[in-house]
Each structure stands twice: as structure tokens, then as C-alpha cells.
Amino acid sequence: MIKKGLIGVLFLVLSGVVYLFLWGFLFPWSPVKPGYAHEGNARWSVYYPEGTALPDDYGHIGDLMEETEAFHHLAYTHPVKVILCATSAQYRRYSTQRSHLCTMGTGTVIYVNPTVKETKRDIRSFLKHELSHALVFQHMTLPHAFKLKRWIREGLAVYYGNPHHYYQGDAFLSLAVDKGYFFDFTGDDGENPSLIGHIPADRRYLFEYAEYRCFVDYLMTHYGSERFFAFLNLDMRAPEAENEAFRQVYEVELSAVFQQFKQEVMARHWPGHSDA
């Protein structure tokens, strides 16, 4: 009886593993991907539903990867898989997310929700955003990837990939100053969702990412990209010591620079009205 019980447990475990590989979050590493065709090379591959044509934008992944490497001064260390999910339910099952696109913490897999087509926004900009995440994550351990603060992770990805998808210029200033949406994300509770709880739900995510991008832009413009990427490289190695890394590179506290940034925003001096 005990032997039969062990066999039964083993069968259930193996069945669960097979399910995760074929229909769950282990799908990217499955040796077979039923229902999917794919194109690619040694650097990248795109999986898309069988019976459909690969959209043109995804055929340029290789070019976008090279552009992303040049901007970030880093090189991909592993191939990148892009999976165009057949349905939103499938996207949620594979990625456990509800966004239009997402990148796994390994930096090797990008999932695309079919809802991205409903945004009417350019796909390449979305891909550049996610490729920024993938490149940064590939230079971090998985635990460190989850510790990297949202402001630098998303701020950099938006700054590089798709700034025009979020509030800019006068639109940003109107919400930040007139509506009082501006928030300080540099404190110990900078990742707490309550910090943006005062922002209406339909604008919350768009403004949050816009402010992150605006601060990255401020750092790039006032202190130079070389210093920013020096800080990023330190932060990737030890994200729990972000403040120390910032102080080492910028020779000033992160909170102090953020207050300067805030003053310029409140005075409507930053960003510029033609910010685009």
C-alpha cells in the first residue's frame, strides 16, 4: 500500500511538472511548444501561434537588441525568447501578470499579451522597453533582479524605450503640480503602493512611470549618462545598497538630488514644455 501511495504521489508530481512545462510558467523551457511556430537565431527567437504570420515588428528583434546594448553599454549574455501568447488567459497563465508585456527576472523571456494590439501604440517601443529589462536582468542574479527598485528599473526602460507612451511636458506638469500627483519614491517606503494611492486608478500607472522616467531624464541631463550608468552598474550588483551606490557615484545623497528635482518640477522648470 505504501509503495502504491508513493507511485501515486510521484505520478501527480510528474504530471504537475509536465503541465507547467506545456501550459504553465515553465513553458519557455519546454522542449516542445504545442500550438506554436517560431523564428530566430542563436541570439533571439520569437514564438507565435501556429497558423498566423509573424508580425513584421518582431522580425527586427535582433536590430533592437543591438540598439539596446549600445545604449546601455552592456551586452546580452543569453539568448532572448519572445513569446506572443495566443490569448490573454494564456498570457496570465504563463507570466502570472496582467500587463501588455512583461519580462521574466531571468532576463531571457519576454511575454506579449495580445491586448497590446488594442493600445494602438508602436510595438517596437514596447519591445525596446522590455529589452531594457532583459538586458539589465541578465547582468543580475535572480534575487537581485527582484530587489532592483522600480524607479530605476522602469524609469530607465521608459526613458530608453517608450517615453511617448506616458505623460510628458505640460501634461506631466499639470498632473504633478496642479493635481498633486507628485510623490517621493526615494525613502525606505519607496516601493509602498500607498505612495501613489492618491492618484486616480486610471492614471496611476501612467503617471508613476512618467515620474520615474522624468527623474532618470533629470539625472542624465544634469549629471551625464556616464555617471548614470556607473551608478546603474553598482546598483545591479547590490540593489539593497542603492543609496550607498548613489552616494559613491554622485557624491551626494539620492534624497538630496530628488529634492532638487522636486523643486524644479514644482517651479515648472523641469521637464521642459517641449519635453518629447
Cell, residue 157: 526602460
**How far, in Å, are 15, 24, 95, 104, 216 from residue 33 at the CA level?**
16, 11, 15, 18, 39
CA distances from 8 to 22, 24, 35, 235 (A): 21, 22, 30, 47
pLDDT at residue 165, as a whole number:
97
How many CB atoms are closer than 10 A to CB 253?
13
What pLDDT, on the 0 to 100 scale, is given for residue 190? 84
**pLDDT for position 14:** 54
Question: What local confidence, expressed as pLDDT, does residue 186 receive?
Answer: 94
The domains of the chain are located at 16-139, 148-266
Cell numbers at 184, concatenated = 517621493
Maximum Cα interatomic distance, the chain, rounded to a whole number of Å? 77
d(CA 225, CA 247): 16
Q: Are 236 and 132 in contact (CB under 8 A)?
A: no
Fold of 16-139: Glutaredoxin (3.40.30)
- Intervals of the chain under pLDDT 70: 1-24, 273-276
Q: Name which of 129, 128, 159 is nearest 275 in CA terms.
A: 159
Cα dihedral value 76, 84, 104, 128, nearest 10:
50
Helix (H) or strand (E) holding 102: strand 101-103
